Amino acid sequence: MSVSLLIPTALRGFAGGSAEIELEGATAGEVLAALAKRHPEIKEHLYEEDGNLRSFINVYVGDTNIKSLNGQDTAVKDGDSVILVPSIAGGGSWL
């Protein structure tokens, strides 16, 4: 399956500056693994040491969080968008 992975600004520096990358994979987890293989520097931003996704990054397939689906085993199909949604804290006075 070929899906487009959308990369937020905060992580683009670890993905060669790309905002959107076409990747192959049958599940959300495989798509993320393909990203980490292509851009090893992004790995520690995505995964805990035990291989689980970090709790401050949400992964969406379309408009649904994979936490509400099958986690990293969530199936993806051709043309799906996989979106990384990290927590960001900016906006206040001390910006």
Binding residues for other proteins restricted to 18-77, rule: CB under 8 A: 19, 40-41, 44-45, 54-56, 58, 60, 63-65, 67-68
Q: Tell me: does residue 87 bind other proteins (CB under 8 A).
A: yes
Contact status, residue 81 vs residue 6, Cβ threshold 8 Å: yes
Distance CA(28)–CA(75), nearest Å, equals 6
Q: C-beta of 48: minimal distance to other proteins in Å?
A: 11
Beta bridge partners of 22: 4
Smallest distance from other proteins to CB 18, Å: 12
Residue 13 or 77: the one with the smaller Cβ distance to other proteins is 13
H or E element at residue 33 = helix 28-38
